């Protein structure tokens, strides 16, 4: 293990300048990918330093002398030492903590749900380098939260209808003659005492008739409100999908040929197939994290991909889905870890906003 003498107070490595750190990172990354000792020519192609092989050999010799890399055989390339792995792990953990803090701070600044979810998709695409999707929260059995009537003018009322998931429907209602304030108040009490907490299935003809009798001469107003409730609940059930990072998939050769890329981009842009995918995910919602690899993917044009999904909860029974789409060789450990962290962060944000 690296001793404290090797590290400064901020966790940096005092004997490694930026160039050496980049070369060491490249050696470790290449070795983790191939399992083969890494030579200077490989590193010259692997980094953005634009250094000659001779210069890289000198830096590698220094890294070996410092104990960060080893040469297992004469004339062979280098492999990371335990000390080199320790550098890699410490740097990785430090970056992950910084990334998490930046992500949470960024998301907490967003107020509107739609903007928040779009930002989640964008941040996730940047952090993972894959394509991402996020659905708006949906309630399995959407219920009415409350109705508020208010007078706009002598000939119109405004009905504000709120259902679970904070979906709001505004409906203007024409009235034949002005209503007194106490009449509007009585209608509000009538509507909320009968309808609050009910689903569309609960609002039957018998209930509506009872309410009309109690409303008396104002019964026609209720007809408009019942229509508004139906529209609001239908709106709440529409699945809104936000995507980001769709062009990231072009970075992976196995997904980048014209035919595959065209089909995959079509799925991500049209979103109809994503709705089918979300339906499949929700049927398996007993699992917090779900992984679909290749042929397991329920969408035909995504059979060359892997998809990892997680569920977040806005409130009891109101849930949405977050998904990451990439090649079958995606970094599953990072993706699963990121999704677990993100769903926890969203839970924290939603609790603060409620």
Q: Which residues contact 279 (CB under 8 A, 6 or more apart)?
A: none
More confident residue, 44 or 244: 244
CA distance 94 to 170: 48
pLDDT at 1: 35
Average of per-residue pLDDT across 186-195 = 88
Does the structure show a pLDDT above 60 at 185? yes
pLDDT at residue 252, as a whole number: 85
Q: Report how far apart, in Å, the C-alpha atoms of 42 and of each of 23, 69, 85 are.
A: 11, 15, 19
8 pLDDT tier (thresholds 50, 70, 90) = very low
Tell me the pLDDT tens digit for each residue of 161-176.
887 766 677 888 888 7
pLDDT, tens only, 54-98: 888 899 999 999 999 988 876 678 888 888 877 876 776 565 555
4 has pLDDT over 50: no
Per-chain mean pLDDT for the chain: 78
- Does residue 354 register a pLDDT over 70? no
99 pLDDT exceeds 70?
A: no
Its sign, for the CA torsion 49, 54, 59, 64, is: positive
Helix (H) or strand (E) holding 232: helix 219-237
| Contact yes or no for 159/224 (Cβ under 8 A) | yes
Res. 222: pLDDT tops 80 = yes
Nearest-angstrom CA–CA distance, 38 and 57: 11
Give residue for tokens 């065209």: 262
Mean pLDDT of 196-202: 80
Of 332, 333, 331, 313, the C-alpha closest to 322 is: 313
pLDDT per residue as tens digits for the range 284-296: 655 678 888 888 8
- CA 142/CA 201 separation, integer angstroms: 10
Any idea which residue has 């901020």 for tokens? 10
What pLDDT, in 10s, does the model give residues 314-350?
A: 666 667 888 899 888 888 888 888 888 888 777 776 6
For the chain, helix (H) and strand (E) counts, in that order, are 12, 11
Give per-residue pLDDT as tens, 116-158.
788 888 888 988 889 999 887 766 667 788 888 888 888 888 8
For residue 120, the model assigns a pLDDT of 85
pTM of the model: 0.51
């Amino acid at each position: 293990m690296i001793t404290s003498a090797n590290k400064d107070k901020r966790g940096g490595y005092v004997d490694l300048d930026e160039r050496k750190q980049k070369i060491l990172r490249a050696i470790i990354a290449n070795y983790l990918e191939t399992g083969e000792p890494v030579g200077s020519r490989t590193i010259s192609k692997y980094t953005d330093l634009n250094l000659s092989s001779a210069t890289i050999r000198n830096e590698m010799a220094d890294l070996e002398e410092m104990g960060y890399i080893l040469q297992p055989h004469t004339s062979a390339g280098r492999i990371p030492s335990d000390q080199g792995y320790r550098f890699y792990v410490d740097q990785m953990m430090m970056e992950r903590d910084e990334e998490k803090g930046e992500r949470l701070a960024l998301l907490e600044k967003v107020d509107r749900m739609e903007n928040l979810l779009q930002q989640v998709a964008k941040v996730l695409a940047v952090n993972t380098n894959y394509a991402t999707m996020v659905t708006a929260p949906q309630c399995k059995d959407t219920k009415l939260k409350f109705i508020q009537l208010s007078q706009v003018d002598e000939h119109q009322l405004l009905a504000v209808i709120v259902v679970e998931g904070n979906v709001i429907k505004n409906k203007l209602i024409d009235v034949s003659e002005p209503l007194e304030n106490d009449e509007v108040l009585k209608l509000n009490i009538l509507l909320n005492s009968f309808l609050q907490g009910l689903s569309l299935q609960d609002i039957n003809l018998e209930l509506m008739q009872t309410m009309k009798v109690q409303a008396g001469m104002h019964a026609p107003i209720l007809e408009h409100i019942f229509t508004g409730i139906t529209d609001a609940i239908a709106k709440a059930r529409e699945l809104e999908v936000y995507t980001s990072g769709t062009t990231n998939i072009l970075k992976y050769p196995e997904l980048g040929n014209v035919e595959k890329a065209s089909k995959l981009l079509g799925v991500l842009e049209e979103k109809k197939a994503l709705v089918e995918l979300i339906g499949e995910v929700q049927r398996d919602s007993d699992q917090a994290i779900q992984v679909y690899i290749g042929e397991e993917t329920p969408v035909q044009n995504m059979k060359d991909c892997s998809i990892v999904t997680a569920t977040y909860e806005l409130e009891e029974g109101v849930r949405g889905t977050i998904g990451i789409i990439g090649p079958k060789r995606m970094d599953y450990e990072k993706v699963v870890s990121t999704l677990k962290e993100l769903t926890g962060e969203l839970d924290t944000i939603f609790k603060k906003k409620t």
